[in-house]
Chains A and B, each alone.
Chain A
Amino acid sequence: MERRRNPSKQMLALLRTLSARPRDWRHGYEIMKETGLLSGTLYPLLMRMTDQGLVEAEWRPPAHPGRPARHAYRLTAAGLALARAADAEERPPGLAARFA
Protein backbone atom coordinates (compact mmCIF):
# COMPACT_ATOMS: atom_id res chain seq x y z
CA MET A 1 0.00 0.00 0.00
CA GLU A 2 1.27 3.49 -0.87
CA ARG A 3 2.20 5.50 2.19
CA ARG A 4 1.02 9.10 2.00
CA ARG A 5 3.20 11.72 3.64
CA ASN A 6 1.78 14.66 5.57
CA PRO A 7 0.63 17.37 3.15
CA SER A 8 3.15 20.15 2.56
CA LYS A 9 2.34 23.81 3.16
CA GLN A 10 1.80 24.30 -0.59
CA MET A 11 -0.44 21.24 -0.80
CA LEU A 12 -2.51 22.51 2.12
CA ALA A 13 -2.96 25.86 0.36
CA LEU A 14 -4.11 24.05 -2.77
CA LEU A 15 -6.46 21.77 -0.81
CA ARG A 16 -7.95 24.79 0.95
CA THR A 17 -8.54 26.66 -2.30
CA LEU A 18 -10.02 23.71 -4.17
CA SER A 19 -12.21 22.63 -1.26
CA ALA A 20 -13.73 26.10 -0.89
CA ARG A 21 -15.86 25.41 -3.98
CA PRO A 22 -15.42 21.66 -4.45
CA ARG A 23 -17.83 21.24 -7.36
CA ASP A 24 -16.32 24.01 -9.47
CA TRP A 25 -13.68 23.34 -12.09
CA ARG A 26 -10.74 25.76 -11.80
CA HIS A 27 -8.07 26.68 -14.33
CA GLY A 28 -4.37 26.60 -13.53
CA TYR A 29 -3.77 30.34 -13.67
CA GLU A 30 -6.83 31.06 -11.55
CA ILE A 31 -5.55 28.59 -8.90
CA MET A 32 -2.14 30.27 -9.00
CA LYS A 33 -3.70 33.62 -8.21
CA GLU A 34 -5.90 32.24 -5.43
CA THR A 35 -3.22 30.18 -3.70
CA GLY A 36 -0.29 32.50 -4.37
CA LEU A 37 1.66 29.49 -5.65
CA LEU A 38 3.96 29.94 -8.66
CA SER A 39 3.56 27.79 -11.77
CA GLY A 40 6.83 25.98 -10.95
CA THR A 41 5.27 24.77 -7.68
CA LEU A 42 1.64 24.45 -8.70
CA TYR A 43 2.00 22.20 -11.75
CA PRO A 44 4.20 19.49 -10.17
CA LEU A 45 1.79 19.51 -7.21
CA LEU A 46 -1.27 19.16 -9.44
CA MET A 47 0.41 16.36 -11.41
CA ARG A 48 1.32 14.48 -8.24
CA MET A 49 -2.15 14.92 -6.75
CA THR A 50 -3.79 13.79 -10.00
CA ASP A 51 -1.55 10.69 -10.02
CA GLN A 52 -2.60 10.00 -6.42
CA GLY A 53 -6.29 10.35 -7.27
CA LEU A 54 -6.76 13.46 -5.14
CA VAL A 55 -7.44 15.81 -8.03
CA GLU A 56 -9.25 15.21 -11.29
CA ALA A 57 -8.31 17.07 -14.46
CA GLU A 58 -10.46 17.63 -17.49
CA TRP A 59 -10.44 19.68 -20.68
CA ARG A 60 -13.31 22.16 -20.31
CA PRO A 61 -14.96 24.05 -23.17
CA PRO A 62 -13.99 27.74 -23.31
CA ALA A 63 -16.13 30.40 -21.63
CA HIS A 64 -15.93 32.57 -24.76
CA PRO A 65 -16.49 31.05 -28.21
CA GLY A 66 -13.45 30.91 -30.43
CA ARG A 67 -11.05 30.41 -27.53
CA PRO A 68 -9.25 27.08 -27.05
CA ALA A 69 -10.37 24.55 -24.42
CA ARG A 70 -8.56 24.81 -21.07
CA HIS A 71 -7.44 22.21 -18.59
CA ALA A 72 -9.43 22.48 -15.38
CA TYR A 73 -9.09 20.84 -12.00
CA ARG A 74 -11.17 19.96 -8.96
CA LEU A 75 -10.85 17.67 -5.95
CA THR A 76 -12.00 14.06 -6.09
CA ALA A 77 -13.90 12.55 -3.15
CA ALA A 78 -10.57 11.33 -1.73
CA GLY A 79 -9.07 14.79 -2.20
CA LEU A 80 -12.01 16.43 -0.49
CA ALA A 81 -11.76 13.99 2.44
CA LEU A 82 -8.05 14.81 2.76
CA ALA A 83 -8.81 18.54 2.61
CA ARG A 84 -11.38 18.18 5.42
CA ALA A 85 -9.06 16.05 7.54
CA ALA A 86 -6.22 18.56 7.06
CA ASP A 87 -8.58 21.42 7.90
CA ALA A 88 -9.74 19.66 11.10
CA GLU A 89 -6.11 19.05 12.12
CA GLU A 90 -5.23 22.70 11.62
CA ARG A 91 -8.02 23.96 13.90
CA PRO A 92 -7.46 24.30 17.67
CA PRO A 93 -8.93 21.24 19.55
CA GLY A 94 -11.95 23.12 21.02
CA LEU A 95 -12.88 24.58 17.67
CA ALA A 96 -12.44 21.22 15.93
CA ALA A 97 -14.84 19.56 18.40
CA ARG A 98 -17.46 22.25 17.74
CA PHE A 99 -17.23 21.65 13.96
CA ALA A 100 -17.15 17.84 14.25
Chain B
Amino acid sequence: MRAVAQAMVALASRCLGRHRRDWALAMREELEAARADGRSLSFAWGCLIAAWRELPRHAEGRYMIASHGLAFVLVIPTAALLVASLMSGVPYSYLAALGGEEPLLSDGNLFALPSLALLLVVVAAAHLRIAWLLLERDWAGVFTLGTLLAAVSVTLLLFTGLVFVTFIFPLALAAALAIELAAIFALARWHALAFGSASELLD
Protein backbone atom coordinates (compact mmCIF):
# COMPACT_ATOMS: atom_id res chain seq x y z
CA MET B 1 0.00 0.00 0.00
CA ARG B 2 2.80 2.38 1.00
CA ALA B 3 4.77 1.56 -2.15
CA VAL B 4 1.71 2.17 -4.36
CA ALA B 5 1.09 5.55 -2.73
CA GLN B 6 4.76 6.49 -3.12
CA ALA B 7 4.71 5.44 -6.77
CA MET B 8 1.60 7.56 -7.37
CA VAL B 9 3.21 10.61 -5.76
CA ALA B 10 6.40 9.99 -7.76
CA LEU B 11 4.32 9.91 -10.95
CA ALA B 12 2.57 13.11 -9.86
CA SER B 13 5.98 14.65 -9.30
CA ARG B 14 7.03 13.76 -12.87
CA CYS B 15 3.84 15.25 -14.25
CA LEU B 16 4.36 18.50 -12.33
CA GLY B 17 7.80 18.93 -13.91
CA ARG B 18 10.54 21.37 -13.02
CA HIS B 19 8.05 24.24 -13.03
CA ARG B 20 6.35 22.93 -9.86
CA ARG B 21 9.26 21.05 -8.28
CA ASP B 22 8.67 22.55 -4.83
CA TRP B 23 5.03 21.47 -4.91
CA ALA B 24 6.02 17.94 -5.86
CA LEU B 25 8.40 17.81 -2.87
CA ALA B 26 5.68 19.26 -0.64
CA MET B 27 3.27 16.48 -1.70
CA ARG B 28 5.95 13.87 -0.96
CA GLU B 29 6.49 15.20 2.55
CA GLU B 30 2.75 15.46 3.26
CA LEU B 31 2.33 11.82 2.23
CA GLU B 32 3.95 10.86 5.54
CA ALA B 33 1.30 12.82 7.46
CA ALA B 34 -1.46 11.18 5.39
CA ARG B 35 0.09 7.75 5.99
CA ALA B 36 0.10 8.31 9.75
CA ASP B 37 -3.64 9.02 9.37
CA GLY B 38 -4.20 5.89 7.27
CA ARG B 39 -5.17 7.91 4.21
CA SER B 40 -2.05 7.63 2.09
CA LEU B 41 -3.75 6.12 -0.98
CA SER B 42 -6.53 8.69 -1.27
CA PHE B 43 -4.01 11.47 -0.64
CA ALA B 44 -1.64 10.14 -3.32
CA TRP B 45 -4.50 9.70 -5.79
CA GLY B 46 -5.52 13.31 -5.20
CA CYS B 47 -1.94 14.46 -5.81
CA LEU B 48 -1.92 12.57 -9.10
CA ILE B 49 -5.22 14.20 -10.13
CA ALA B 50 -3.80 17.62 -9.14
CA ALA B 51 -0.67 16.98 -11.24
CA TRP B 52 -2.75 15.88 -14.26
CA ARG B 53 -4.88 19.00 -13.93
CA GLU B 54 -1.68 21.06 -14.03
CA LEU B 55 -0.34 19.41 -17.20
CA PRO B 56 -1.92 21.75 -19.79
CA ARG B 57 -0.86 24.81 -17.80
CA HIS B 58 2.91 24.54 -18.32
CA ALA B 59 5.16 24.00 -21.35
CA GLU B 60 6.63 20.72 -20.10
CA GLY B 61 3.15 19.38 -19.35
CA ARG B 62 1.84 20.32 -22.79
CA TYR B 63 4.88 18.60 -24.30
CA MET B 64 4.14 15.47 -22.20
CA ILE B 65 0.53 15.40 -23.42
CA ALA B 66 1.71 15.74 -27.03
CA SER B 67 4.41 13.05 -26.77
CA HIS B 68 2.10 10.57 -25.02
CA GLY B 69 -0.62 11.39 -27.55
CA LEU B 70 1.75 10.73 -30.44
CA ALA B 71 2.96 7.46 -28.90
CA PHE B 72 -0.45 6.11 -27.86
CA VAL B 73 -2.65 7.51 -30.63
CA LEU B 74 -0.40 7.22 -33.68
CA VAL B 75 2.75 5.12 -33.21
CA ILE B 76 1.46 2.17 -31.14
CA PRO B 77 -1.85 1.87 -33.06
CA THR B 78 0.16 1.79 -36.33
CA ALA B 79 2.21 -1.12 -34.96
CA ALA B 80 -1.00 -2.86 -33.85
CA LEU B 81 -2.57 -2.27 -37.28
CA LEU B 82 0.47 -3.77 -39.03
CA VAL B 83 0.44 -6.86 -36.81
CA ALA B 84 -3.35 -7.24 -37.17
CA SER B 85 -3.16 -6.90 -40.95
CA LEU B 86 -0.36 -9.46 -41.14
CA MET B 87 -2.32 -11.87 -38.95
CA SER B 88 -5.42 -11.46 -41.06
CA GLY B 89 -3.39 -12.14 -44.18
CA VAL B 90 -3.10 -8.68 -45.71
CA PRO B 91 -1.27 -8.11 -48.00
CA TYR B 92 1.29 -10.85 -48.56
CA SER B 93 -0.53 -14.02 -47.59
CA TYR B 94 -3.53 -12.59 -49.39
CA LEU B 95 -1.43 -12.24 -52.51
CA ALA B 96 -0.05 -15.74 -51.97
CA ALA B 97 -3.55 -17.18 -51.70
CA LEU B 98 -4.39 -15.59 -55.03
CA GLY B 99 -1.38 -17.37 -56.51
CA GLY B 100 -3.17 -19.45 -59.16
CA GLU B 101 -5.74 -16.82 -60.17
CA GLU B 102 -3.57 -13.72 -60.26
CA PRO B 103 -1.62 -13.60 -63.50
CA LEU B 104 1.17 -11.49 -61.93
CA LEU B 105 1.79 -14.02 -59.17
CA SER B 106 3.82 -17.07 -59.90
CA ASP B 107 6.23 -19.48 -58.26
CA GLY B 108 8.88 -17.05 -59.38
CA ASN B 109 7.73 -14.20 -57.17
CA LEU B 110 5.90 -16.03 -54.38
CA PHE B 111 9.28 -16.87 -52.84
CA ALA B 112 9.56 -13.25 -51.67
CA LEU B 113 6.38 -13.31 -49.53
CA PRO B 114 7.84 -14.66 -46.23
CA SER B 115 10.77 -12.25 -46.24
CA LEU B 116 8.55 -9.25 -47.02
CA ALA B 117 6.15 -10.31 -44.25
CA LEU B 118 9.15 -10.54 -41.93
CA LEU B 119 10.15 -7.00 -42.88
CA LEU B 120 6.67 -5.85 -41.90
CA VAL B 121 7.10 -7.54 -38.50
CA VAL B 122 10.38 -5.60 -38.13
CA VAL B 123 8.53 -2.36 -38.97
CA ALA B 124 5.86 -3.12 -36.32
CA ALA B 125 8.50 -3.94 -33.67
CA ALA B 126 10.45 -0.78 -34.54
CA HIS B 127 7.27 1.22 -33.98
CA LEU B 128 6.93 -0.09 -30.43
CA ARG B 129 10.58 0.74 -29.74
CA ILE B 130 10.16 4.24 -31.20
CA ALA B 131 7.15 4.84 -28.93
CA TRP B 132 9.27 3.87 -25.91
CA LEU B 133 12.25 6.03 -26.97
CA LEU B 134 9.92 8.94 -27.67
CA LEU B 135 8.59 8.89 -24.12
CA GLU B 136 12.15 8.51 -22.80
CA ARG B 137 13.17 11.55 -24.93
CA ASP B 138 16.03 9.50 -26.37
CA TRP B 139 16.24 11.50 -29.58
CA ALA B 140 19.42 9.80 -30.85
CA GLY B 141 17.62 6.44 -30.63
CA VAL B 142 14.46 7.83 -32.23
CA PHE B 143 16.41 9.23 -35.20
CA THR B 144 18.44 6.03 -35.68
CA LEU B 145 15.30 3.91 -35.67
CA GLY B 146 13.43 6.45 -37.80
CA THR B 147 16.16 6.20 -40.45
CA LEU B 148 15.95 2.40 -40.29
CA LEU B 149 12.16 2.58 -40.74
CA ALA B 150 12.53 4.86 -43.74
CA ALA B 151 15.08 2.44 -45.27
CA VAL B 152 12.84 -0.57 -44.63
CA SER B 153 9.81 1.13 -46.15
CA VAL B 154 11.78 2.07 -49.28
CA THR B 155 12.90 -1.58 -49.53
CA LEU B 156 9.30 -2.75 -49.13
CA LEU B 157 8.10 -0.24 -51.69
CA LEU B 158 10.69 -1.27 -54.28
CA PHE B 159 10.50 -5.03 -53.76
CA THR B 160 6.72 -5.24 -53.55
CA GLY B 161 6.47 -3.01 -56.58
CA LEU B 162 9.00 -5.00 -58.60
CA VAL B 163 7.99 -8.49 -57.50
CA PHE B 164 4.20 -8.08 -57.44
CA VAL B 165 3.74 -5.04 -59.68
CA THR B 166 1.50 -3.49 -57.02
CA PHE B 167 2.20 -0.23 -55.30
CA ILE B 168 -1.05 0.25 -53.42
CA PHE B 169 -0.07 -1.36 -50.12
CA PRO B 170 3.58 -0.17 -49.96
CA LEU B 171 2.57 3.36 -50.94
CA ALA B 172 -0.08 3.45 -48.19
CA LEU B 173 2.52 2.18 -45.72
CA ALA B 174 5.08 4.75 -46.89
CA ALA B 175 2.52 7.56 -46.59
CA ALA B 176 1.61 6.46 -43.04
CA LEU B 177 5.30 6.32 -42.10
CA ALA B 178 5.96 9.74 -43.64
CA ILE B 179 3.15 11.26 -41.55
CA GLU B 180 4.48 9.55 -38.44
CA LEU B 181 8.09 10.63 -39.03
CA ALA B 182 6.97 14.20 -39.76
CA ALA B 183 5.01 14.24 -36.47
CA ILE B 184 8.05 12.86 -34.60
CA PHE B 185 10.30 15.46 -36.22
CA ALA B 186 7.87 18.23 -35.20
CA LEU B 187 7.85 16.90 -31.63
CA ALA B 188 11.68 16.78 -31.55
CA ARG B 189 11.77 20.35 -32.82
CA TRP B 190 9.33 21.44 -30.15
CA HIS B 191 11.46 19.68 -27.52
CA ALA B 192 14.62 21.38 -28.84
CA LEU B 193 13.00 24.82 -28.79
CA ALA B 194 11.39 24.41 -25.38
CA PHE B 195 14.01 22.42 -23.47
CA GLY B 196 17.23 22.78 -25.47
CA SER B 197 18.12 19.14 -26.15
CA ALA B 198 17.73 17.30 -29.49
CA SER B 199 18.84 20.48 -31.23
CA GLU B 200 22.15 18.96 -32.32
CA LEU B 201 20.23 16.12 -33.99
CA LEU B 202 17.99 18.51 -35.89
CA ASP B 203 20.77 20.75 -37.24
Which A residues are within 8 Å of any B CB, using their own CB?
A: 27-30, 32, 38-44, 46-47, 57, 59, 68-71
Contacts and interface: CB of A to CB of B under 8 A. Distances in A.
A40 B25 contact: no
B33 A29 contact: yes
Interface residues of B, number: 22
A38 B46 contact: yes
5 contacts: A27-B30, A32-B43, A39-B45, A40-B47, A71-B23
B26 A44 contact: no
A40 B30 contact: no
B33 A57 contact: no
Contacts of B22: 57, 59, 71
B29 interface: yes
A68 B29 CA distance: 7
B49 interface: yes
Contacts of B43: 29, 32, 39
Contacts of B33: 27, 29-30
Main SS of chain B's interface residues? helix
B29 A40 contact: no
B130 interface: no
B42 interface: yes
Contact of B26 (A30, A38, A41, A70): A70
Interface in B77-116: none
B50 A44 contact: yes
A63 B132 CA distance: 44
A28 B24 CA distance: 12
B37 interface: yes
B53 A40 contact: yes
Given A29-B37, A57-B22, A71-B22, A43 B46 contact: yes
A40 B44 CA distance: 9
A35 to B, nearest CB: 13
Contacts of A28: 26-27, 30
B34 interface: yes
A38 B42 contact: yes
